[in-house]
Structures are given as C-alpha cells and as structure tokens.
Chain A
Amino acid sequence: MKILVIEDEPELRDILTQSLEKENFVVESAADFFSAMDKVGVYDYDCILLDISLPGGSGLDILKELKRIRKNEGVIIISAKDSVDDKVNGLALGADDYLTKPFHTAELTARVKSVLRRKQFDGQNVTRLKNISIDFDKRELLVSGKEVTLNRKEFDILTFFVANKNRLVSKTALAEHVWGDQIDEADSYEFIYSQIKNLRKKLKDHGSEIEIQAIYGIGYKLTDE
C-alpha cells in the first residue's frame, strides 16, 4: 500500500509519515505544489493525503489534475481551512473524504483505511481480524461466525480500534470520532469508558481473540496477540 502525503508543514508531514509507516504503509511525501504534481503524474498511489493551501498552488488543482488523467487514487483532503466551500468543492471534485486540521493520527488512520477498503473490495466493505469480522455497510459484528449485537456507539468505537489495531488510541481521539468535535465535555469520557466496558464484556463473552487494553490515563489499545 503506497500513500502520498502532500503537506507543506514539515512537522506535520513528519508526524503523518511516521504514523502511517507504523501501519506498514509505504509513505512518500511532497512539500509543495510542483513536487506534488510531479509525483502524482509519474507514480501511482493507493491513497493521497492532500493539503489545500500549498506553496505554489492550490491542492484543489492537484485534485483536478488527478481526475483529468483519470487516476483512481483515494484522496483525503486535509485542510486547516474549516470552510464549507473547501469541503464542498473538494468533495465535488472527487475527493473521498475531508479532514480538518488539527486531527488525531488515529482518526486519519481510520479514514485512510476506510478509503482503501472501499477502493479495494469494490463495495464489499468487510474487515477481518483474527476470529472477528466486521461488515461496515450492515454495521454487523461476527465473532467466530456468530453475530454480536452492539449499539451504535459501541460499533463506532470498535471499528475505530480495529483501524488502529496495536496502536494507542487517545480517549479524546475516540470521543471526537464518536461524537464529532462539537462535544467538549469531560463527561463524554465517562461515557466512552462505560461503552468500552460493555464492549470488552461482549467481546470476552463471545470468546473473541482481540482485546482492548487501557493505556494508563491516555487512552486504549486494541491488541490481537
């Protein structure tokens, strides 16, 4: 899996690269409009992370170029401009998703995997991990072939963990993934905690081979060892 990170902020580019490499993706990066245009013209990628405001030009023009040369990369726009226009324009030009800075790397990983999944299995939106199987379209969880009923939030939490398996998922990243970023109450952590407790119990009761560990104070980690 090859991913191109187009981002002009060096620190952020490093973090994105590091984080994606941990997921065993091959990551390349471009720091400005022209090097990005060169790369997309020459190589093929599975997914492109695209910043809108770049030195030398707009990320939206790169998106137009991609569509012009009929490349089928998944594109996720990452922009600091939380403007509705950018989002609408980007999605209208064929971007697959839109992420507003600042975001959690866990959120990005989940989005990247979701885009890749949709591109690869052509509609068959299913992920398997050990003895569990998740159908994203039906929002269904099977453990050893048997269905486990989850409420909506439990399902969202589980899929987020699965996308970030063996990685630390901070409780805020989780809260924002589940609630959107309009929630700013500490109370939502308690709620997340109770949902995870239920989820753990359900997974354990059905004999799943995955486990959710608490990482002291910061968040959680899903392990399949």
Chain B
Amino acid sequence: MRLHNYTVLYLSGAMFLVLSIWAAIFYVNMLDEIHDSIDDGLENTKLLVIRKTIEDSTILYKDNFFESNYRIREIRPHESVAFKDVYSDTTFYTENEKDFEPFRMLTTVFKAQNDKFYKLRIISSMVEEDDLIEDLLYSLVSLYVVLIVSMVFVNNFLLRKIWQPFYHTIEKLRGYKISDQEEINFETTRVEEFKLLQKSLDELIKTNRETFNAQKQFIENASHELQTPLAIGINKLELMAEKNDFSDEQLQKISEVIDSLERLTRLNKSLLLLSKIENRQFPETENIDMNVLVKKLAGEFEELAGFKSVNMQIEENAELNILSNKPLAEILVTNLLKNAIFHNQQNGKVHVVLNSNSLTVENSGTEALDSEKIFGRFYKSPQQTQSTGLGLAIVQSIVDIYGFTILYEFNGMHRFTVGF
C-alpha cells in the first residue's frame, strides 16, 4: 500500500470517530436548546392565558384543546397544594400529518379570580426527533464524504508533490548497482528530512563503493601477481622432470605438484577474467553472427563429444545476431557447450537451439541442479574436484554486463537459456 493511501486510511478512521462524537454532542445540545426555547414559549403562553382569564372568564370552561393549544379544567383545592409546573413530552394526533406527532406539554395550576383552582395544560408542536436525526445523519455523511474526497485529492496532488524527491531517490536507488561506478545525482529538495536521507545515502554509497573497488582491485592485483611465480614454478618442475634421472615415484610426486599448480593457475586465470569482465575491460563491441559462432565452436568440440559418446545437435530456428565483445561471446558459448558436454551421461545428448533472440543449450542429466546456486562462484558438484567452479559464474557476469538474461530449467534435461 502506498504511503498516501495509508494516510487517507488512518485519517478517514480518525475523522469517522471525531465526527461521530461531535454529532452526538451536537445532537444533544441542539435538542436541549430546542426544548429550552419551546419551554420558554409555553411559559409565556401560560402567563398570557392566565391574564386572559381575568378579562374573559368563559375560557375557564374551555376544557379541550380543539383549535387552540391549551385547555383548562377545575380541580379541587387540595390537589393544587405543592403543585409545580411540569414540562413533559407527549404525542397528539395531528390532522395534517394524519399521525401522532411529538408535542411539548406544560401542566400548571392557577387560582382564578373566582377563588377556584384550575389546572392549565399548554402544548406546543415539537421537532420530530427521528427527522432531526435523519437530517443530521445525512449532513454528516455528506460532510464525511466531502472530507474524504478532499483528503484523497490533497494526498494525491499535494502530498505526491511533496514526497516527489523521496520517490525520485528510491527510483534512483533501485536502478543503482555498486559496480556501475557512477555517482547518484539526487534531486535537490528543500525538505530537511529528505536532504538528510540523501546525504546518508550518498555517504553509504561512497563507502560501499570504496570497499567494493578496493576488494576488486585486490583480487585483480593478487591474481596478476600470482601469474609469474606460478608459471616459474611449473616451468622449473617441468624442466627438472625432463632430466630423466628420477624414479617413477619421484616423477609421480612431481606430477602431483605440477597438477596442483596448474589448478591454481586455472583458478587464477578464471578469477582474473571474472574481475576483468566486471571491470568492463572488454569495451569493444561488434555485431556477432551467433549462428556462425555457435557452429564454429561446436565444431571444436566435435571430437570431444565423440569421445564422450555425446550426440550434439544444433537447431537453427532463426538468425541470431548480438552486439557484444567477440572474445566474451566466444567464452559465453564455449562455457555453455563445454558444460553441456562434460556434465553429460554416456550416450547422452546436447541440443543447441538458436532462436531470433535466445540461445538454448540442453544436455542430458539425471537430476535438477540448484538454480539459485549454479551461477555462483565456486559452485561444483562433489565429483568434479578438478573444476574451478567458475565457468557459469563467468557466463553470468558476461550476461550481466550486457543486460542479457540467463535461465536454468530442468525437465529431464538441463536447460540453459540465454535471452538477448
């Protein structure tokens, strides 16, 4: 959920609560005020009626409401003792509404000039509470809706504008790779928090890049410096072995040392190649006809495939041309083909498919490999102690620098698909 939707969600909840409480208080207050004002009117009418009885004693016999709003009935004197004015709510049948409607009624007692006691009842039509609540509810709901709509509006237009540097920063970070070596240029902003965020990110990236570069440089330098001593060691041992005055056992030992040094050399070369690819030290690109390249390299492996009893087939569905560095394209194809032939079964198959934007290399195999790990460095199955485990890592890094994709699947065959 996006940030401003969260704001809207929480604000609308809070708004609902506040408006409900406010509505309840408002309703009670308003009703109170209405009662108050009606009671004042009733009190006034009481005084007017009592005064009128002085002028016109006939109204003392008006013992029903009929067209007017009061009635008077005689009571016995003892009933009037300690009688206080009573305001009460009641209902009367009204002609116009053809229904019982709420009325406010004042019941009072007075002593007329003939020294008799009378009970006076005065009524006044009152607001219909249910109508009031209904009206109030409608107004409130519409107010609520208007508020929410304006909030969404404000969020979408104003907040989005305010948060824009933030989204911009995130967008920049998302596309950032530490290996790219480029500075991130954040959008300038006046918001203090965003400035702080950008500054922290800048520092973080800077230190990370420095560490990354130092590490890369170290790998490259170390590999490079190891080359010559390794070559000297191997060559000296070979010259020594040539002298022909060793026993078989001694030769066996020398051979084992040479083998270990050779392994180290291969490892070293592969690491150097990896760091060179990652440092983009193969800048020249050209248009490469992959159909020609794949056929040429597959030809190189023909005898090896024959030796391993592996049947290699190339299926050309389309012309595949890519823009890449030639040696890297060769390494990419070589590593995939080599893997497919070496990690195969007796009488297995290698199936290479060229499509207009992809290259697929399939080979027979028994069980799926861990697709998460196979492209990692030094991944190898326990049987292949001689392998450097860097072949597919090299493929991955070539794929990465050109923005190609590589996918591993297993469906009875190991299948590697490079998308260009």
Contacts and interface: CB of A to CB of B under 8 A. Distances in A.
Interface of A: 9, 11-12, 15, 18-19, 22, 80, 82-84, 101-106, 151-153, 167-168, 170, 172-173, 179, 181-188, 190-191, 194-195, 215-218
B228 A191 contact: no
Contacts of A186: 384-387
Given A15-B235, A185-B342, 19 more contacts: A9-B228, A11-B236, A12-B231, A19-B239, A80-B224, A80-B228, A82-B273, A104-B235, A105-B239, A153-B304, A179-B300, A182-B331, A184-B386, A185-B387, A187-B308, A195-B303, A216-B252, A217-B251, A217-B255
Contacts of A82: 272-273, 276
Nearest to A16: B235
Given A80-B224, A102-B234, A152-B303, A170 B338 contact: no
Contacts of B273: 82
Interface stretch (B55-63, B123-131, B200-208, B261-269): B261-269
Contacts of B232: 9, 11-12, 15
Contact of A215 (B224, B241, B270, B391): B241
B231 A183 contact: no
B281 interface: yes
A104 B238 contact: yes
Interface of B: 224, 227-228, 230-232, 234-236, 238-239, 241-242, 248, 251-252, 254-256, 258-259, 262, 265-266, 269-270, 272-273, 276, 281-282, 284, 300, 302-304, 307-308, 327, 331, 334-335, 338, 342, 384-388, 390-391
Nearest to B390: A184
For the complex of A and B, 6 pairs with smallest distance between CB atoms: A102-B231, A217-B255, A186-B386, A168-B242, A218-B255, A184-B266
Chain B CB count within 10 A is highest, among A12, A167, A181, A191, for A191
Given A184-B266, A215-B241, A102 B227 contact: yes
Given A19-B239, A217-B252, A104 B334 contact: no
A84 B282 contact: yes
A12 B229 CA distance: 9
Contacts of A218: 238, 241, 251, 254-255, 258
Given A184-B386, A216-B252, A191 B307 contact: yes
28 contacts: A11-B228, A11-B232, A12-B228, A12-B235, A80-B227, A82-B272, A84-B327, A101-B231, A102-B231, A104-B235, A153-B304, A170-B238, A182-B331, A184-B390, A184-B391, A185-B338, A185-B387, A188-B304, A190-B307, A191-B304, A191-B307, A195-B307, A215-B251, A216-B255, A217-B252, A217-B256, A218-B251, A218-B255
Contacts of B238: 104-106, 168, 170, 173, 218
Contacts, number: 112
A196 B241 CA distance: 21
B390 to A, nearest CB: 8
A190 B228 CA distance: 28
A110 to B, nearest CB: 14
A163 to B, nearest CB: 15
Nearest to A190: B307
A190 B255 CA distance: 16
B258 to A, nearest CB: 6
Contacts of B270: 184
Contact of B248 (A152, A173, A216): A216
A215 B246 CA distance: 11
A102 B241 CA distance: 19
Nearest to A18: B239
A122 B384 CA distance: 47
A95 B241 CA distance: 32
B251 A216 contact: yes
B259 to A, nearest CB: 8
Contacts of B284: 84
Contacts of A18: 239
A145 to B, nearest CB: 27
A174 to B, nearest CB: 12
A153 B385 CA distance: 25
Contacts of A104: 234-235, 238
A11 to B, nearest CB: 5
Contact of A153 (B230, B231, B303, B384): B303
B386 A185 contact: yes
A30 to B, nearest CB: 18
Contacts of A185: 338, 342, 384, 386-387
Contact of A102 (B230, B255, B334, B342): B230
Contacts of B236: 11, 15
A167 B242 CA distance: 7
Given A104-B235, A105-B235, A191-B304, A83 B227 contact: no
B282 to A, nearest CB: 7
A218 B237 CA distance: 10
A180 to B, nearest CB: 8
Contacts of A170: 238, 258
Nearest to A194: B307
A147 B327 CA distance: 36
B303 A151 contact: yes
A172 B252 contact: no
A22 B243 CA distance: 11
A183 B251 contact: no
Nearest to B387: A185
A186 B390 CA distance: 14
Contacts of B252: 216-217
